[in-house]
Amino acid sequence: MAKQSGITYAVSIDDGAGSPQTISNDVLSVTVNTPRAVQDVTGLDKAAVERLLLLADATVSITGVYNTQATTGSHTVLKSIPSSAQVRTLVLTPLGGSALTMEVVGTNYTVARSQSGELTFTAEFALQNGTAPAWS
């Protein structure tokens, strides 16, 4: 794959009814973390650290513009996060790039109004189903 920019990026996530909705138009930024746990297994006979890779994890943070449009507005799609333990399918796809698909739970939904009047949101998600995230 060739180098590419992040210009034109698709964000799709299930709404409160479990239907996938594309909220890309409202999203200002996305941060994806895919850490791996490690175990230090360094014996006394070693001069450097020895580690084993353990469980994979993933978290996603999405920041965007508050939008109450029916069906596809960011608030309409995300507003059930505080009151529901629903598992959602999250798909992140840079234009012409690989897609990252994972089952997540919403862990936080924050709506903020700045001093200048901007109304924005931040939504946080964590891996749910025990399957390591992978780019396709």
Helix (H) or strand (E) holding 125: strand 119-127
- Measured CA to CA, the distance from residue 68 to residue 23 in angstroms comes to 11
Classify residue 124: in a domain, yes or no: yes
Domain range for 34: 9-135
Report residue 3's pLDDT band, with 50, 70 and 90 as the boundaries: confident
Per-residue pLDDT reduced to its tens digit, 69-79: 999 999 999 99
Per-residue pLDDT reduced to its tens digit, 88-126: 999 999 887 789 999 999 999 999 999 999 999 999 999
Give pairs for 25-30: CB < 8 Å, separation 24+.
25/67, 25/72, 26/64, 26/65, 26/66, 26/67, 26/73, 26/74, 27/62, 27/63, 27/64, 27/74, 28/63, 28/64, 28/65, 28/120, 29/62, 29/63, 29/64, 30/60, 30/61, 30/62, 30/63, 30/92
Residue 2 confidence (pLDDT):
74
Classify residue 4: in a domain, yes or no: no
Q: How many domains does the chain have?
A: 1
What's the pTM?
A: 0.89
Q: What is the CATH number of the domain that holds 100?
A: 2.30.110
What length does the chain have? 136
φ/ψ (deg, to 5) at 78: -100, -10
Classify residue 1: in a domain, yes or no: no
Classify residue 123: in a domain, yes or no: yes
